[in-house]
Amino acid sequence: MADIIDGKIFAESLRAGIAAEVATLAFTPGLAVVLVGDDPASKVYVANKARQTVEVGMRSFEHRLPAETTQADLLALVQALNADAAVHGILVQLPLPKHLNTEAIIAAISPAKDVDGLTVTNAGLLANGLPGLVPCTPLGCILLLQDRLGDMTGLNAVVVGRSNLVGKPIAQLLLQQNCTVTIAHSKTRNLDQICKTADILIAAVGRSELIKGNWIKPGATVIDVGINRVPAAEPGKTKLVGDVAFSEAVQVAGIITPVPGGVGPMTIACLLRNALTAAKRIETTLEKELS
């Protein structure tokens, strides 16, 4: 049986460290979260983000906009937040309603306040191995891997998924750890065989329980980023499952993250970490400009 990583406990200790550091600052970091529409899961994530922001001693600015918000209105809000000195981090909850142009909205966020690490500037910094803001879920995965594996030099890492939010940035972070990285996706041929080469397998493809136990190399470390809501055995109820068939995989892998309770909680903890990083950088730059 694999060792099961408890992401909740890890995230709690990360948040405790952030709170301790915030308490030492001469200013209060501020994080703005923008939600457009009524997606039930997004509403829960945004509420959790706001609550945890306050719990670590930061200021939370919540902006809930109706589903019919126009591109121009959302852009105007982002620009106002860019200009607001009390706001050090800006996050626009995804997915946005279909009529909005997500790329243009993300591009409008000041890279210094882009705590999701999604602007082209931050993606470029990551690709070049330079310090920027790194997307939260990939950062959470790497922190878990570093904690469990330490040095990852030379390990074969397979990332299943190529999104800007998870797949591409985590591949970059694994390269920085000296892994040999393969990026696979839903159209990859012989996906099972490729997965079987992985010492580290990252499942971020968004397909419930796609990755079976016999796709996994015995003893591999499996990080499941998938969050898929599927019908439960009880009629009318649903449950969360990952991209990995957990009950099979847990018998083959050496280390594995569960869903829920694995990577998910790390996402918000890493958002707070990014907000702290952004705030310190912004305030330091301001101080330099004033002196």
Ligand X SMILES: Nc1nc2c(c(=O)[nH]1)N[C@@H](CN(C=O)c1ccc(C(=O)N[C@@H](CCC(=O)O)C(=O)O)cc1)CN2
By CB under 6 A, name the one of 22, 139, 227, 252 that touches ligand X.
227
260 binds ligand X (CB under 6 A): yes
- Complete DSSP assignment for 144-203: HHHHHHS--TT-EEEEE---TTTHHHHHHHHHHTT-EEEEE-TT-TTHHHHHTT-SEEEE
3-state DSSP call for residue 33?
strand
Please name which of 252, 257, 255 lies closest in space to residue 240, comparing C-alpha atoms. Answer: 257
Q: Has 237 been annotated as catalytic?
A: no
Q: Is 261 a residue that touches ligand X (CB under 6 A)?
A: yes
Query: Any known ligand binding at 13?
Result: no
Q: Is 267 a residue that touches ligand X (CB under 6 A)?
A: yes
| Positive or negative: CA dihedral 65, 66, 67, 71 | negative
Closer to ligand X by CB, 91 or 155: give it. 91
Interface with ligand X by CB under 6 A: which range of 171-179, 211-219, 263-271, 276-284? 263-271
Say if residues 267 and 140 touch (Cβ distance below 8 Å): yes
Q: Is 229 annotated as a binding residue?
A: no
Give me the least distance between CB of 153 and ligand X, in Å please. Answer: 28
Between 91 and 201, name the residue whose CB sits nearer to ligand X: 91
Nearer to ligand X, 191 or 222 (CB): 222
Q: C-alpha angle 62/66/71, rounded to 5°? A: 95
Min CB(198)–ligand X separation in Å: 21
Question: Are the C-beta atoms of residues 266 and 183 closer than 8 Å to each other?
Answer: no
- Site mask for ligand X (CB under 6 A), range 73-112, x = bound: ------------------xxxx------------------
Query: What is the distance of C-alpha 220 from the center of its chain?
Result: 22
Region 239-258 residues binding ligand X, contact defined as CB under 6 A? 240
User: Catalytic residue at 49?
Assistant: yes
| Alpha helices, H only, the chain | 7-22, 40-55, 71-83, 102-108, 120-127, 136-149, 167-176, 191-195, 246-249, 264-290
To the question of whether residue 64 is assigned a binding role by annotation, the answer is no
# residues contacting ligand X (CB under 6 A): 20
Angle at 54 between CA 51 and CA 59, to 5 degrees: 125
> Which DSSP helix (H) or strand (E) runs through 70?
none
Q: Which residue is catalytic, options 116, 199, 224, 243?
A: 116
138 near ligand X (CB under 6 A): no
Q: Is residue 116 a contact residue for ligand X (CB under 6 A)?
A: yes
Which structure tokens are listed for 61? Answer: 């600015």
- The reply, when asked if residue 105 is annotated as ligand binding, is no
- The answer to the question of residue 264 lying near ligand X (CB under 6 A) is yes
Q: Which residue of 32, 81, 136, 249 would you call a contact of ligand X, by CB under 6 A? A: 136
Task: Give the contacts of 9 (CB within 8 A, at least 6 positions apart).
Answer: none
116 among known catalytic residues = yes
Binding residues: 161-163, 227
Binding residues for NADP(+): 161-163, 227
Hey, which residues are catalytic here?
49, 93, 116
Chain residues that interact with ligand X, rule: CB under 6 A: 41, 44-45, 91-94, 116, 136-137, 165, 227, 240, 259-261, 264-265, 267-268
